């Protein structure tokens, strides 16, 4: 930077600032400022031309006044004039004023851009840097439009000075972040990547920030940077601290550059080139070795720089997840930090080990630190560190240590910080369910959870325990006995009352033989809690009472007396009043058989994924759920013979391929809360580009982070479609629900919903035998990402798979679904056609007779019409025909066709890229038992396909 001469001190500015500081009151300050503003305004408007020094001084005063919080509405042109000065200090003040006070909509922006262009082409490095700093500070879209094509040329030019290259790289990064569509590297890509080889470390440090940002958006274009980054990292890691003297920070060579290089490498998979990969592994080993060396300085800056590189290296090792030796070494190194005196290091070590626990190579190594982590959970002062310790315990949990970890978490819950109790409760509930072998232990754990932290037990938790108890005959008696004992506590949480009311209402008869838990004792125990509960719990207890009348007729008189009292049948709450009146009447007039039928035991729930895990993910927020949560989620549904969720469905839609748009998370609006008695579908699923002709884009980072796995080719070739596949497909052209396939081993049910170009399909796979299905896989034979189903399907059990579908363009062939499993050691391999046909994306359109035939005439080109005359395959019943046409998805129009015997429909097929209008006319001839079907669509391929599909339906 040029030296500032003595005359540049701007004494007048110093005096003004001093006067402001000496003001005794706000009024005095405003008075002094107004006086100065009037003086500056008169100077700018005076006839006498001001010299550069005076302009600079007055512009500085305006800038200072603005920074004090006062509005400045003049002086902008004088600041712009300073940009044309050849003096550094004057130009600097001009650019400073522009950066702070001029917005992108200013009328002066064209003059400013001209001044910046002049400085960029001046080849004066100081002026070029000032101009680049101004562009980056303003960073507007107008700036990007004006200079995005010029800055890359300056960046890669051979005669550009190093300081200018640094500024150009950072300026380009700023513009790319604000307007990525305007910053196109194109021909400059390879030359920008080769800046990693620049001799000047400052240029490399600036350039790598730019390259990392560009690589995240366009990884394929910049993949050549991997080998160069490894080479540069190798040189830094292997160098002595004296080799990079200007860039050595407390005996650590170029720590910021090393961290940035390691972060850049995390944008890519492990290098395919063996030599490059070997060199990188050597670098990572060297970093781990250096972490073991005694420190070269006791200064905190030395340890911070050294640890920053170490944690980035460990992040890269975890990202690659392909080097068992490095993963175990990283785990051991982090284990040393778990007892470090520095709180931040303990926090980072726990956080990194959470991710390591998800790797098959390092999971066992992480488990060796369980005692240290448990100790941290109990003794850490900082709640954020305790939370990370809880996360790590959750991540390292498996069948071998589940009981120990759950017990420790329950113990900690009694004194846990309130901010993490709800999350801890969810984790305990998930682990208890996932790793339960002894179901009585599971029941004990959940009831203990409600006792300890009942206020934080969400509905999903107690819904889930009820589902599992209902589905497991062997635990129902134990659950009834345990919950009966729990309700005897003087202070009983309301959630315990809910669980008790439900379980005793269903299974109280299993413990009624004991005089200590006779029917009347059970009823009195529940009713003693009634007045303490909220309205929803009271409603549940009333339902339990009417169940008691069915289970234990001897309690009928007592319960009817309770229902008959004014506090029930005249209750101010409509729900309670209605239940009391209806239950009283039902118990009075219904016969024993009718009562038994109405109040029969709840049937087992269908096998579905638990929503507790989804609630945990939602609570933690995007990007914070550990990988273990996600990888284990594919096993979540099948660990216990649980069921569908009763209550609000909290599962979130997962991210899709990079090519898929991001509509609202709930595509079909089917995540609304359901009543306790209903069982809505669970929505843990993914978005699938089913109909993309170009194939899917590369999976985005978000998809991988969410734990979804790309479909891998199975070990055996998929079987060809079944001979009856087309016949099965045709059954679903005009309906969305039903049994898709059934044989003596397997039943496949389907339920689907469609809205515009989006659809959601639930597939239910039921094992009809008493023998377990092993190695169960389902593979849609199209290029998608899918979440695997549970590989083991117990005898009599059912599992679910969810597909969310988007129609990108019109299509003819239905996608295939391949199912493989082993039954009694023999491989079963079958392929079906998924019932996804083009008519599923119909939106009905109401039209008048005039509009219909006007549009019919407009679609008169031969290729737009498809017609077929065919013999009736089924009876020509009017109501059946109408039902099928409505099931098609289009609108059935009345009083449109002159012949009342004919049927006329209209609709629009919605795809991502276009809308296809369709008109349909079906003319039945009942005497000849024939139909003439005519379709006219704005796209010929759609006409033909719809005609083929519909001809099979009538």
Here the CATH number for the domain that contains residue 806 is 2.60.40.1230
Count other C-beta atoms under 10 Å from residue 345's C-beta: 20
Tell me if 795 is assigned to a ligand binding site: no
Tell me if 11 is assigned to a ligand binding site: yes
Instruction: Give the side-chain half-sphere CA count within 13 A for 620.
Output: 21
Residue 482: the pLDDT is 92
The rounded distance, in Å, linking the Cα atoms of 760 and 781 is: 18
The rounded distance, in Å, linking the Cα atoms of 475 and 438 is: 9
- Residue 880 sits in the same domain as residue 930: yes
Tell me if 250 is assigned to a ligand binding site: no
Q: Quick one: which of 303, 260, 258 has its CA closest to 283?
A: 258
- Asked if residue 21 belongs to a domain, the reply is yes
Tell me if 60 is assigned to a ligand binding site: yes
Cα dihedral value 213, 217, 223, 229, nearest 10: 10
CB 729 within 8 A of CB 835: yes
The rounded distance, in Å, linking the Cα atoms of 214 and 209 is: 9
Low-confidence ranges of the chain (pLDDT < 50): 1-7, 622-715, 783-785
- Residue 441 sits in the same domain as residue 544: yes
If you ran DSSP here, which 8-state letter would residue 721 be given? B
- Asked if residue 492 belongs to a domain, the reply is yes
If you ran DSSP here, which 8-state letter would residue 253 be given? E
- Residue 829 sits in the same domain as residue 842: no
- Residue 518 sits in the same domain as residue 441: yes
Residue 702: the pLDDT is 33
Helix (H, G, I), strand (E, B) or coil at 481: helix
Length of the chain, please?
A: 954
- Asked if residue 130 belongs to a domain, the reply is no
Claim: this prediction has a pTM higher than 0.75: no
- Residue 468 sits in the same domain as residue 566: yes
Q: In this structure, what are the phi and psi dihedrals at residue 903, rounded to the nearest 5 degrees?
A: -115, 135
Pairing of strands 798-806, 686-688: parallel
The rounded distance, in Å, linking the Cα atoms of 659 and 851 is: 38
Residue 242: the pLDDT is 58
Residue 658: the pLDDT is 31
- Asked if residue 945 belongs to a domain, the reply is yes
- Boundaries of domain holding 36: 10-101
- Asked if residue 736 belongs to a domain, the reply is yes
CB 945 within 8 A of CB 937: no
The rounded distance, in Å, linking the Cα atoms of 167 and 154 is: 10
Residue 47: the pLDDT is 63
- Residue 453 sits in the same domain as residue 491: yes
Tell me if 397 is assigned to a ligand binding site: no
End residue of a domain, out of 581, 598, 615: 598
Cβ neighbours for 193, distance < 8 A, ≥ 6 positions apart? 211, 222, 224, 225, 228
- Residue 415 sits in the same domain as residue 479: yes
Cβ-in-10-Å burial (0-12, 13-18, 19+) of 29 comes to middle
CA of residue 332 relative to chain centroid, distance:
31
Tell me if 61 is assigned to a ligand binding site: yes
- Asked if residue 571 belongs to a domain, the reply is yes
- Residue 421 sits in the same domain as residue 481: yes
CA of residue 839 relative to chain centroid, distance:
30
How many domains is the chain built from? Answer: 4
- Asked if residue 758 belongs to a domain, the reply is yes
CB 865 within 8 A of CB 859: yes
End residue of a domain, out of 47, 70, 101: 101
- Residue 783 sits in the same domain as residue 880: no
- Residue 24 sits in the same domain as residue 75: yes
Q: Could you give the angle at the alpha carbon of 217 between the alpha carbons of 213 and 222, nearest 5°?
A: 75
CB 906 within 8 A of CB 889: no
| Helices assigned H by DSSP within 23-87 | 26-45, 52-67, 76-82
The rounded distance, in Å, linking the Cα atoms of 253 and 907 is: 68
End residue of a domain, out of 833, 848, 876: 833
Tell me if 59 is assigned to a ligand binding site: yes
- Residue 501 sits in the same domain as residue 565: yes
Instruction: Give the side-chain half-sphere CA count within 13 A for 60.
Output: 21
If you ran DSSP here, which 8-state letter would residue 793 be given? B
Cβ-in-10-Å burial (0-12, 13-18, 19+) of 853 comes to middle
- Asked if residue 257 belongs to a domain, the reply is no
- Residue 912 sits in the same domain as residue 929: yes
Residue 782: the pLDDT is 55
Residue 696: the pLDDT is 35
């Amino acid at each position: 930077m040029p030296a500032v001469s003595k005359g540049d001190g701007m004494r007048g500015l110093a005096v003004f600032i001093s006067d402001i500081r000496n003001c005794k009151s706000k009024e005095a300050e405003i008075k002094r400022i107004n006086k100065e503003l009037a003086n500056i305004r008169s100077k700018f408007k005076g006839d006498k031309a001001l010299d550069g020094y005076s302009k600079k001084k007055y512009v500085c005063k305006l800038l200072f006044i603005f920074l004090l919080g006062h509005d400045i509405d003049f002086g902008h042109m004088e600041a712009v004039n300073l940009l044309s000065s050849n003096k550094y200090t004057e130009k600097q003040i001009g650019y400073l004023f522009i950066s702070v006070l001029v917005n992108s909509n200013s009328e002066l922006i064209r003059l400013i851009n001209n001044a910046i262009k002049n400085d960029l082409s001046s080849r004066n490095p100081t002026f070029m840097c000032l101009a680049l700093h101004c562009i980056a500070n303003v960073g507007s879209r107008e700036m990007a439009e004006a200079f995005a094509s010029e800055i890359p040329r300056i960046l890669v030019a051979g005669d550009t000075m190093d300081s200018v290259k640094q500024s150009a790289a950072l300026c380009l990064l700023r513009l790319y972040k604000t307007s990525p569509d305007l910053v196109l590297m194109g021909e400059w890509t390879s030359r920008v990547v080769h800046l990693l080889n620049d001799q000047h470390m400052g240029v490399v440090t600036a350039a790598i920030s730019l390259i990392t940002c560009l690589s995240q958006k366009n990884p394929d274009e910049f993949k050549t940077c991997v080998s160069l980054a490894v080479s540069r990292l190798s040189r830094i890691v292997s160098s002595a601290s004296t080799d990079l003297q200007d860039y050595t920070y407390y005996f650590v060579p170029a720590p910021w550059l090393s961290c940035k290089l390691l972060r850049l490498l995390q944008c890519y998979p492990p290098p395919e080139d063996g030599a490059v990969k070997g060199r990188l592994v050597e670098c990572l080993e060297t970093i781990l070795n250096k972490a073991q060396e005694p420190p070269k300085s006791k200064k905190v800056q030395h340890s911070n720089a050294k640890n920053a590189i170490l944690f980035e290296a460990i992040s890269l090792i975890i990202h690659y997840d392909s080097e068992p030796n490095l993963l175990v070494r990283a785990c051991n190194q982090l284990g040393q930090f778990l007892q470090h005196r520095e709180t931040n290091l303990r926090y980072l070590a726990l956080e990194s080990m959470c991710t390591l626990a998800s790797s098959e190579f390092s999971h066992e190594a992480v488990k060796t630190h369980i005692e240290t982590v448990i100790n941290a959970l109990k003794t850490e002062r900082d709640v954020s560190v305790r939370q990370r310790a809880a996360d790590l315990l959750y991540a390292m949990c498996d069948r071998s240590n589940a009981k120990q970890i759950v017990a420790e978490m329950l113990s900690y819950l009694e004194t846990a910080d309130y901010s993490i109790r709800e999350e801890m409760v969810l984790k305990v509930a998930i682990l208890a369910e996932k790793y339960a072998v002894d179901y009585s232990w599971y029941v004990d754990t959940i009831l203990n959870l409600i006792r300890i932290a009942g206020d934080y037990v969400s509905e999903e938790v107690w819904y889930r325990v009820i589902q599992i108890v209902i589905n497991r005959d062997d635990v129902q008696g134990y659950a009834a006995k345990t919950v009966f004992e729990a309700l005897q506590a003087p202070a009983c949480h309301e959630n315990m009352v809910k669980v008790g009311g439900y379980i005793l209402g269903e299974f109280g008869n299993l413990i009624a033989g004991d005089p200590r838990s006779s029917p009347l004792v059970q009823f009195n125990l529940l009713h003693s809690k009634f007045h303490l509960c909220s309205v929803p719990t009271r409603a549940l207890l009333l339902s339990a009472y009417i169940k008691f009348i069915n289970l234990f007729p001897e309690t009928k008189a007592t319960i009817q007396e309770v229902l008959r009292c004014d506090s029930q049948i005249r209750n101010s709450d409509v729900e309670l009043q209605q239940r009391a009146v209806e239950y009283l009447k039902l118990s009075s007039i219904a016969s024993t058989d009718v009562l038994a039928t109405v109040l029969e035991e709840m049937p087992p729930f269908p096998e579905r994924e638990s929503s507790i895990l989804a609630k945990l993910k939602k609570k933690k927020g995007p990007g914070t759920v550990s990988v273990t949560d996600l990888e284990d989620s594919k096993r979540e549904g099948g660990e216990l013979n649980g069921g569908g969720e009763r209550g609000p469905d909290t599962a979130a839609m997962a991210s899709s391929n990079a090519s898929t748009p991001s509509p609202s998370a709930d595509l079909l609006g089917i995540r609304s809360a359901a009543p306790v008695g209903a069982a809505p579908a669970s929505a843990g699923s993914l978005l699938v580009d089913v109909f993309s002709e170009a194939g899917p884009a590369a999976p985005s980072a978000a998809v991988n982070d969410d734990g979804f796995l790309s479909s891998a080719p199975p070990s055996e070739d998929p079987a060809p479609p079944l001979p009856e596949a087309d016949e099965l497909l045709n059954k679903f052209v005009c309906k969305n629900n039903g049994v898709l396939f059934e044989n003596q081993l397997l039943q496949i049910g389907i339920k689907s919903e469609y809205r515009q170009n989006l659809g959601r399909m639930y597939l239910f796979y039921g094992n009809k035998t008493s023998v377990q299905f092993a190695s169960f896989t389902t593979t849609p034979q199209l290029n998608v990402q899918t979440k695997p189903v549970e590989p083991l399907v117990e005898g009599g059990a059912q599992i679910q798979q969810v597909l969310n579908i988007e129609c990108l363009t019109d299509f003819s062939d239905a996608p295939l679904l391949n199912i493989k499993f082993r039954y009694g050691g023999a491989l079963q391999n079958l392929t079906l056609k998924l019932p996804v046909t083009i008519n599923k994306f119909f939106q009905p359109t109401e039209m008048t007779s005039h509009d219909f035939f006007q549009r019919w005439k407009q679609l008169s080109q031969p290729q737009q019409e498809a017609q077929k005359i065919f013999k009736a395959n089924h009876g020509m019943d009017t109501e059946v025909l109408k039902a099928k046409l409505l099931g098609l998805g289009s609108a059935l129009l009345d009083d449109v066709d002159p012949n009342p015997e004919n049927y006329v429909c209209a609709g629009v097929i919605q795809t991502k890229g276009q809308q296809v209008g369709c008109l349909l006319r079906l003319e039945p001839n009942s005497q000849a038992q024939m139909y003439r079907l005519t379709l006219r669509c704005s796209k010929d391929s759609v006409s033909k396909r719809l005609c083929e599909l519909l001809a099979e339906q009538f």
